[in-house]
Amino acid sequence: MINITQLEVHTHEGRALVQPFDFHLKKGEIVGIFGESGSGKTISTQAMLNLLPSALVSRSIKKIVEDRNLDMLSPREYRKLIGLDVGYIPQNTTEFLHPLVKIKHQMLEGYVTHQCGTKKQGLKRATELLELVGLNNPKKILNGYVFELSGGMRQRVNIALSLMTKPRIIILDEPTTALDSITEHEVMEFFKNINQEEGVSLILITHNMKLIEKYTDRAYVFYQGEMVETNDTKMLFSEPYHPHTRALVQVTHGEEVR
């Protein structure tokens, strides 16, 4: 699904933010990207899909998504690939949703643009998805604005939005930050079911090692702009080799850090 070789991120002035690393995602996998704030995990994922902010640039030897070389695609081909096949749930729900556009128009935009169906069909799917993620009165939400929603409701809207075009890959960037522990469990189980029943591949970006341990098949650990360790999740927790990873595993398991 994704195959990246020697990807790095830096500023236009040449200051390195993420050291070169390799990444791959197989069909049906749940892969975790763990790191503390500022470790480079989010911008690394953005760089994989050519979604970096304009102030940053990336380099790589190979960047393949869905058997397509991203750097060789035309703008139209790129928009179609990313718009249809990749769903993205951001960490900052307030900035991601437009404050002056009704929720229904934001949910319909990609669906209609990529010709997934008519507006009527899109509204039906949006309503069903909002119900699926546990939001009551979806019609009221669709006709409302982001400032009328709580943080948890915005996150659920983003989850529904990410599913509108039936993507094959979904990126979850700190998907449970605005949620309480009960809702966190419900959301993660929801995505686990999508992964198991529909074969959707997931990338979970988080600073929560417990989520990595419970839900992922493989994981990458970032520390100070460098990918310091990667392994199958069970091996990562049973035999971590990098000091930073060992310390994190000990804290996660309630052990004394040595």
Report how far residue 122's alpha carbon sits from residue 108's, in angstroms, rounded to the nearest whole number.
Answer: 6
Q: If you search the block for the tokens 């990562």, which residue do you land on?
A: 236
Q: What pLDDT sits at residue 126?
A: 94
pLDDT of 231-256, one tens digit each? 999 999 999 989 989 888 887 777 65
Q: Taking residues 185-201, what's their average pLDDT?
A: 88
What is the C-alpha radius of gyration for the chain, rounded to an integer number of angstroms?
A: 19
Kindly tell me the number of DSSP H helices and DSSP E strands found in the chain.
11, 11
CATH class of 2-252: alpha beta
Whole-number percent of the chain with pLDDT over 90: 44
- pTM for this prediction: 0.88
3-state DSSP of 157-192: HHHHHHCCCCCCEEEEECCCCCCCHHHHHHHHHHHH
Q: Determine which of 17-31, 131-145, 182-196 has the lowest per-residue pLDDT on average.
A: 182-196
- CB 222, CB 47: distance < 8 Å: no
Q: What is the pLDDT of residue 128?
A: 92
Backbone angles phi, psi at 221, to 5 degrees: -110, 125
**3: enclosing H helix or E strand:** strand 2-11
The tokens for 5 are: 């070789």
Q: Reply yes or no on whether the pLDDT at 49 is more than 60.
A: yes
Mean pLDDT of 134-138: 88
Which band of pLDDT confidence, cut at 50, 70 and 90, is reported for residue 116?
Answer: confident
Task: Reply yes or no on whether the pLDDT at 20 is more than 90.
Answer: yes
Which residues neighbour 59 within 8 Å (Cβ) at sequence distance 6 or greater? 6, 7, 8, 10
- Mean of pLDDT values over 85-112: 84
Kindly tell me if the per-residue pLDDT of 211 is higher than 70.
yes
